[in-house]
Amino acid sequence: MNTSIKNLLENVKNGSVSVDEALLKLKEAPFEDIGFAKVDLHRPLRQGAAEVIYGAGKTPEQIAGILAAMASHGQKNVLVTRLSPEAAEAVNARWPVTYYKEARMAVAGEFPQPDGIGRIVIATGGTSDIPVAEEAALTAQMLGNDVRRLYDVGVAGLHRTLAHLDEIMSASVIIAVAGMEGALASVIGGLADCPVIAVPTSVGYGASFHGLSALLSMLNSCASGVTVVNIDNGFGAGYFASMVNHMETKNR
């Protein structure tokens, strides 16, 4: 995923954008104050990806207002995370979005064609971890990545993990999503030659402490190359995986 500013300069170079048009784009206000929010308009220029709307705690009117502000500045494809079905329906009445109930996410616009260097594999320990994994998967897809899902391949039946060695060993990045003792990240970390992003989930019985047990297990993984995001943070894992999967493209 090349940054927007690099693409802008390339377009100036090849003549598809004039110098004056590029200058105007760079001179635009870095954010728009719409009263209840200051919409970051320069995030694609700085980071290569547009602002993502965190839906929890925002009213449907506020979310639709932010989407409208982003669209007016050319950002047509936007993610909204942590959105309830009721809020998504209310948002859709004001601004068209596609809602993904399992991931609790809404998408305004279309998913882009994958342009990363390889494939992101997302594996879950169990079926109960799928909502967090879907948040990671949709985030990665919205950021231009080819995603392969391997769900319910936890260590309680290790043969299920080993049945997917080809996918695991050919991945550019792997996201391991698991609750309870969170052992899946260590197992995959010991098999793969790529970065592994561990996502602890709040799935489990009492002593799992709503994901704290999995978090501590993943932080203490003996497998090299494993990094850990916060409990249930599928979005953070998907975003970071996309950054890794686009590093070679960025360098080019």
What whole-number distance in Å separates Cα of residue 158 and Cα of residue 135? 25
Output the pLDDT for position 26. 66
| pTM of the entire predicted model | 0.83
Of the candidates 103, 107, 75, the residue with the CA atom closest to the CA atom of residue 91? 107
What value does the mean pLDDT take over residues 72-94? 90
**pLDDT tens-digit readout, 188-203:** 999 999 999 999 999 9
Mean of the per-residue pLDDT values of the chain:
87
Of the candidates 146, 109, 148, the residue with the CA atom closest to the CA atom of residue 249? 146
Q: Which of 40-54, 145-159, 162-176, 182-196 has the lowest mean pLDDT?
A: 40-54
Select the more confidently predicted residue: 32 or 75: 75
CA distances to 61, 104, 188, 189, 248 from 36, rounded to whole Å, are 10, 23, 44, 43, 38
Q: Indicate whether 214 pLDDT > 80.
A: yes
Of the candidates 99, 93, 102, the residue with the CA atom closest to the CA atom of residue 80? 99
Q: Which domains does the chain have, with CATH numbers?
A: 4-108 (no CATH), 119-251 (3.40.50.1970)
Select the more confidently predicted residue: 164 or 226: 226
Select the more confidently predicted residue: 140 or 11: 140
| Continuous segment of H or E residues that includes residue 241 | helix 234-245
Q: Indicate whether 1 pLDDT > 70.
A: no
Q: Which of 7-11, 44-48, 147-151 has the lowest mean pLDDT?
A: 44-48
**pLDDT tens-digit readout, 36-62:** 777 777 676 676 677 788 989 999 999
